Structure 1
Amino acid sequence: MYAQTARPNIVIFIADDVSYNDLGCMGHPVLKTPAIDKLAKNGIRFSNAYLTTSSCSPSRVSILTGRYPHNTGAAELHSPIPPGQVAFPKLLKESGYYTAQAGKWHLGSSGIKPDGPFLDAFDRVGGSHADGGGPGGEQAWVEYLQQRPKDKPFFMWFAAQDAHRGWDNAPKPVQYSAQDVQVPDNLANTAATRTDLVRYYEEVSRFDHYVGKVVDELKAQGILENTLIIVMADNGRPFPRNKTRMYDEGIKTPLIIHWPAGVKGRNQVSSSLVSAIDIAPTILEVAGISECASVQGKSFKTLLAEPTAKFRNYVFAEHNFHSFRAYERMVRTDKYVYIENGLPEQSNVGATDIMGGAAGAELKKHYLAGKATPLQALIFITPQPQFEFYDHSADKDQLINLYGHKGYKAQQQHLADILETWKKETGDDQPEDLTPDWYDRWDNKALPEKGKRGTMPGSLQNATSIQKPGPF
């Protein structure tokens, strides 16, 4: 129906559990990601791109729908996607694109096997580690490109299982030693923690290796010039204080866009605030498709021509059930971060895979032995801060909570008001019977409540039918 050159091909690479600063081009001093770095050098690197949640399946559903998690009706980990939610690849497919998904599915209640209402958004699905995709779910990517119809533009959703725990023992393209790693201050600096980080590094570099293979194939087919490539992640690294959390190493995503035919200039950096819900409308505009009424995000296509232009004033994010009961909300500007915790009486350890890993286990040992620093101990203590406020310009890692500080009273109140407006306009709410903990927060053992679902945030306000996006 459409000539292949009429509209751009589109490829999204989405890493699994990789923090924004764990790529070479995003400033990591050790991790080697030459393929992604090259895309950034010849494209645009976004330094202030934020997810709407730091949790696998809700984040992916949010990206594909352009809607906040509580507006999708699938705000919690592994929660089913209700009928009526529109994934943008379906709109691409209906307009003449060939659409395919390869790698990790994890959309709705299904983790590996493609299933659910988003199946019809793709012409082809599969390619996980259980379906010929190799241990990282990446080995079918090049095959998908080679076997696609050659008379249509295409959209590929290439979702890796790297770098999600548990680590596999397959040979890695890049190896690291325990001496290479940089242990963050919030972790215990032990041999076991260092080894844990080595395994993580190796899976990030494997993701990069397969990104490079796809780029080589696009070049070999002579279509790299008019293929829009996006590299991003679904949430932060699977370590304490990162994945599930509202701090930058949990909620901020690397975002690299490479499109020689459509991006002016090379090696550009955009510090404009961008939300993950803005990706869907941007792709639709690039593909020449009219706006979708259900999308709450806005297209940032103008930033591809003018990376320094002003875009958003605010980004918003939410932390809902992921192994444990949760309700946190965040609003951020280019300078300040404001977080509200609706359940401060509980600890905030994150998720079972985090605390079940070696770094989490070492942190627990340190805490029990009385060796943990205040930063390291913070995830275990109760009560947790109900309100947090950070000056990102002076505290990029959100380590110094300034909430209540007189010098920031006006800024705190402004963001509290903005967050309240966002909740009201988008239909967010905190039900009394939220999904409970499925596991013990200390020893990770399953509880009798495992499998029990409570009331989904937003459901009391019928948020799935709300299109208002809140403040922009």
Structure 2
Amino acid sequence: MSGAFSRRAVLRGAAAGGVGLAAAGTAGARTADGMPNIHWLVSEDNNPLIGTYGDKLAHTPHIDRLAREGLLYRNVYSTAPVCAPSRFGILTGVLPESCAPANHMRAVAHLPSELRTYPEYMRSAGYYCTNNAKTDYNCDVDPKRIWDEQGPKAHWKNRPAGKPFMAVFNTMTTHESRLFGTTPGRVRPDQIRLPAYVPDTPAVRQDYASYYNLMERMDGEVGRWVAELEAAGVADDTIIFYYSDNGGSTPRTKRYCYDEGMRCAMVVRIPPKWAHLAPARAGSRIDAPVTFLDLAPTLLSIADLPAPATMQGSAFLGHRMKAPKSLAFGMRNRMDERYDFVRTVTDGRYRYIRNYMPYRPWGQNQAFEWLQASYQDWDALNRAGKLDPVQARFFGTKPYEEFYDLTADLDQVRNLIDDVGQRVRVGAMRRALDAHMLRINDNGFIPEGSPLEGYARSRAKGAYPLKRVMVLAQMACRRDPRKLAALRRALTDPNEVVRYWGASGLLMLGENARVAAGELAGAMVRDGSPQVRIVAAEAAVRLGNDAGLDVLMPLTRVDQPMPLRLQAVNALTFLGRRAARARPALQVVAQDRELFLKNAGQFALQELDGTYDPHKPIFDLVAFRAAMRGGD
């Protein structure tokens, strides 16, 4: 196939050679206090399909130029494979899973008083801070409070004379929603090398080609932003960051903890005047892993401010830059209406993934995601039995652990977790991930809606015995019948998170937990935690006890909190035909005003009725766009 390329060349390719920063403007406005301006150029939902990363199909001359004149970071990762949790970490320097429910997509976590945002720190240092568009911080912070200017008219040009600026400009050009149609351009569908895990259909090829053409358009916007700085004469006093907020939008990228979901682009151009703030000379490429958790402390380092103890990342340039890291960690929890729980770590060459909900498939229908023709084709061919085993894997349940060689296995389809030759590496990454989760007090084991969620509550003495919970969750997820007694004991523990994982382990054991059917029947009725009751009820129904439906159906009612309703609907969905008696309850949910519940309810009904068609999207995009235009 002419023009075929290796997508991994994007991730492994070498940067172009460097040249010095070109003179920008004439006299220009110098910052009065000797601090550089900082300009963030942020694109949405894209991998580094960029020429300077080695991609032969990409046409990105403006980002390529920034790399030649600056630093190319080759191993850059979002902390979550979707925008809102990722942006919480960028804003605070604290991982979203340390402050539940910020680890869930489209949640409103409480930002405690002990956490401050980076624009607040930068404003205290004398910076004029602006954000021109997107906030999406997944918490209750008021954007107008933390920025000098927030909104479409916000601009660094509005700063007081002599004041340094820190400005964020965000483009939606490469956002996932732009793949819900076709974008023509210089890249054609026949030029694409598809990854092994997707089927080869015209729609799939077109989505990949459109993605490249959108990248070219986005690159033009980057060029215009840089030209604006140069025309104003401030480019030689401005450090420019270009980065993408999370991984790509093509199938199994955004929302998934594979490299294509986690890996991003980042280029930083530092003018000669400020070269002492850089870790290397202009034109260099940086191979050490960097995550977006490092952005906030890096900003403070540029302003020569100490990072507070609450920030979990480390500065990668500036006055207070730290030694390079060797590992980058990532996560996934609920994505819109679908629950999952994944943790991952990479060193840039290998990726280890841990699935804490292995009984749910990777490919859960998520209504917004399924607006993309690629997902529709993939799902339809799976239902027709026309996928090969590698392609069909996406719709199956997951192993507890995955391990991939990112160089030898470009598409991450050969799980090496049991490979004897990888035993030492796997063991090291397991231990590193365990230590990381304990260090950050990972809230992911707390079911959404629990009173234990939150930065402070989960740290209260005795409230959340994380180390014990992690041991129990491993027993549950390995689905070893020999651990049945420990899981049964956990079902009566005083701590609700321990009970939740005891119930989850019995659910995962399936028929091997039949001896505990009586305990599950008791827990689904009497447990003080509704989240535990939901899991116990699903496990009971799977063992033939339909009384579990009488527990789940009332929890879908409108008088219940949204997380409980969604968890109950998901349980009913994955019970399949066993949930037929719940049809009236699902009909009510399918008419709900809350979008996630409505979408989940409609899918569950269509599956029950046998009317589901992947090519007839559940998500009402026309109504959604009308609401967005109306400001809702």
TM-score of the two chains, using structure 1 as the length reference:
0.82
Measure how far apart 1:355 and its partner are: 2.6
Classify the secondary structure of the residue corresponding to 2:198.
Answer: coil
Q: Tell me which of 269, 275, 282 is aligned to 1:266.
A: 282
Q: Distance in 2 between matches of 1:426 and 1:181?
A: 40
Give the secondary structure class of the aligned counterpart of 1:104: coil
Match of 1:329 in 2: 343
Where does residue 212 of structure 1 map in the other structure? Answer: 223
Residue of structure 2 equivalent to 1:83? 111
Distance 1:427 1:149, change over 3 A: same
CA displacement 1:387-422 (0-9 Å, x = unmatched):
011233433442321112222222222221221121
Q: Deviation string for 1:262-317 (max 9, x for gaps)?
A: 24533211111112111111111111222222211111117999xxx961122111
Letter of the aligned partner of 2:308 in structure 1?
C
Using the alignment, how far apart are the partners of 2:226 and 2:184 within structure 1? 17
Structure 1 residue identity aligned to 2:84: S
- Counterpart amino acid of residue 121 in structure 1: I
Write out the 4+ residue segments of structure 1 that deviate beyond 6 Å after TM superposition: 168-173, 302-305, 438-441
Q: Look up the match of 1:35.
A: 62
1:301 aligns with: 317
Structure 1 pair 242–304 and aligned structure 2 pair: CA distance change class (3 A) = farther
Aligned 8 A contact 2:31 2:164 in 1: yes
Shift of the 302–107 alpha-carbon distance from structure 1 to 2, 3 Å rule, reads: closer
Question: Which structure: greater helix fraction?
Answer: 2
Q: Which residue number in structure 2 is paired with residue 135 of structure 1?
A: none
- Whether the 8 Å CA contact 2:156–2:165 is kept in 1: the answer is no
Alpha-carbon distance in 2 for matches of 1:220, 1:173: 31
Identify which of structures 1 and 2 has the higher relative contact order when contacts are C-alpha pairs closer than 8 Å and 6+ apart.
Answer: 1
State the partner residue of 1:464.
none
Please tell me the residue identity of whatever aligns with 2:56.
P
Q: Residues 169 and 404 from structure 1, CA distance in 2 versus in 1: closer, same or farther, beyond 3 angstroms?
A: closer
Distance in 2 of aligned mates of 1:35 and 1:163: 16
Which secondary structure does the structure 1 equivalent of 2:150 belong to? coil
> How many residues are paired up?
426
Deviates more, 1:353-362 or 1:93-102: 353-362
**Counterpart check, 1:10 vs 2:38:** yes
User: Is it true that 1:98 corresponds to 2:112 in the alignment?
Assistant: no
Query: Secondary structure in 2 aligned to 1:99?
Result: strand
Distance 1:353 1:30, change over 3 A: farther
Deviation (angstroms), 1:163 = 1.6
Which residue is 1:318 aligned to? 331
Moved more, 402-411 or 362-371: 362-371
Quick check: 1:341 aligned with 2:352? no
Asked if 1:53 is matched to 2:80, the reply is yes
Which structure 2 residues correspond to residues 191-202 of structure 1 after superposition, within 5 A? 191-202=202-213
- Alpha-carbon deviation of 1:352? 3.3
Structure 1 residue 123: deviation in Å? 0.9
| Larger displacement relative to structure 2 (118-127 or 50-59) | 118-127
Does the CA-based 8 Å contact 1:44-1:269 persist in structure 2?
A: yes
State the shift of 1:254 in Å.
Answer: 0.8
Please report how far the alpha carbon of residue 170 of structure 1 lies from its aligned counterpart in structure 2 after TM superposition.
11
CA distance in 2, matches of 1:303, 1:248: 31
What is the alpha-carbon distance in structure 2 between the residues aligned to residue 170 and residue 335 of structure 1?
34
Which structure would you say has the larger Rg?
2
Given the alignment of the two structures, is residue 224 of structure 1 paired with residue 235 of structure 2, yes or no?
Answer: yes
User: % of aligned pairs identical?
Assistant: 27
1:290-439 to 2 correspondences below 5 Å: 290-301=306-317, 311-323=324-336, 324-349=338-363, 351-382=366-397, 384-428=398-442, 429-431=444-446, 432=500, 433=531, 435=563, 436=566
Asked if structure 2 preserves the Cα contact closer than 8 Å seen for 1:238 and 1:353, the reply is no
1:85-234 counterparts in 2 under 5 A? Answer: 85-108=115-138, 116-127=141-152, 144-167=155-178, 176-234=187-245
Task: Rate the CA distance shift 1:410–1:288 in 2: closer, same or farther, 3 A.
Answer: same
The alignment's C-alpha RMSD in Å is 3.1
CA contact (8 A) 1:83 1:117 kept: no
DSSP-derived class of the 2:368 partner: helix
Q: Secondary structure at the match of 1:253?
A: strand
- Matched residue of 2:354: which SS? strand
Kindly tell me: are residues 152 and 184 of structure 1, through their superposed partners in 2, closer, same or farther at Cα, counting changes over 3 Å? Answer: same
Helix, strand or coil: the match of 2:235? coil
CA deviation profile, 1:172-218 (whole Å, cap 9, x unmatched): 89654434444333222222222223333333222211111110011
Aligned AA (2:263): K
The alignment partner of 1:352 has SS state of coil
The 3 A distance-change label for structure 1 pair 281 and 238 is same
Q: CA deviation at 1:165?
A: 3.1
CA deviation vs aligned residue, 1:144-188 (integer Å, no higher than 9, x gap): 243333321101111222222322899989654434444333222
Counterpart code for 2:206: T
| Higher mean C-alpha deviation, range 334-343 or range 170-179 | 170-179
Identify if the C-alpha distance between structure 1 residues 79 and 293 changes in structure 2 by more than 3 Å, giving closer, same or farther.
same
Query: Could you tell me which amino acid in structure 1 is paired with residue 104 of structure 2?
Result: E
Q: Could you tell me whether the CA contact under 8 Å between 2:51 and 2:60 is conserved in 1?
A: yes
Paired residues of 1:105 and 1:159 also in contact (CA < 8 A): no
Q: Kindly provide the amino acid, as one letter, of the partner of residue 424 in structure 1.
A: L
Q: 1:276 aligns with which of 274, 292, 298?
A: 292
In the superposition, relative to structure 1, how do residues 170 and 379 fare at CA in structure 2: closer, same or farther (>3 Å)? Answer: closer
Counterpart of 2:221, as a letter, is: Y
The 1:275–1:76 alpha-carbon spacing in structure 2 relative to 1, beyond 3 Å, is same
Aligned equivalents of 1:268 and 1:396: distance in 2?
Answer: 25
Whole-angstrom distance in 1 between the partners of 2:143 and 2:174: 24
- SS of residue paired to 2:203: helix
Report the alpha carbon displacement of residue 59 of structure 1 after superposing the two structures with TM. 0.3
Asked if 1 retains the 8 angstrom alpha-carbon contact of 2:94 and 2:311, the reply is yes
Partner of 1:131: none
One-letter identity of the residue aligned with 1:107: Y
Determine the C-alpha separation between the residues in 1 that align with 2:95 and 2:423: 28
Choose which of 91, 94, 97 in structure 2 pairs with 1:67: 94
1:35 maps to a residue whose letter is: H
Gaps of 5+ in 2: 1-29, 447-499, 501-530, 533-562, 575-586, 598-632
1:425 Cα shift? 1.9
The alpha carbon displacement at 1:322 in A equals: 0.7
Distance 1:304 1:116 in 2: 27
Report the secondary structure of 1:296's partner residue.
Answer: coil
Counterpart-to-counterpart distance in 2, 1:304 and 1:202: 39
Q: How far apart, CA to CA, are the structure 2 residues paired with 1:54 and 1:300?
A: 21
Query: Which residue of structure 2 lines up, in the alignment, with residue 132 of structure 1?
Result: none
| Residues 1:182 and 1:270: Cα distance change in structure 2 (over 3 Å) | same
2:78/2:247 contact within 8 Å kept: no
Amino acid at match of 1:70: E
Equivalent positions of 1:451-470 (< 5 A) are: none
Change (3 A) 1:408 1:168: closer
- Aligned residue for 2:345, secondary structure, equals strand
Instruction: Return the alpha-carbon distance in structure 2 between the equivalents of residues 146 and 175 of structure 1.
Output: 35
Give, in whole Å, the separation in 2 of the partners of 1:91 and 1:245: 32
Distance 1:177 1:79 in 2: 38
Does structure 1 conserve the Cα–Cα contact (< 8 Å) formed by 2:179 and 2:211? no
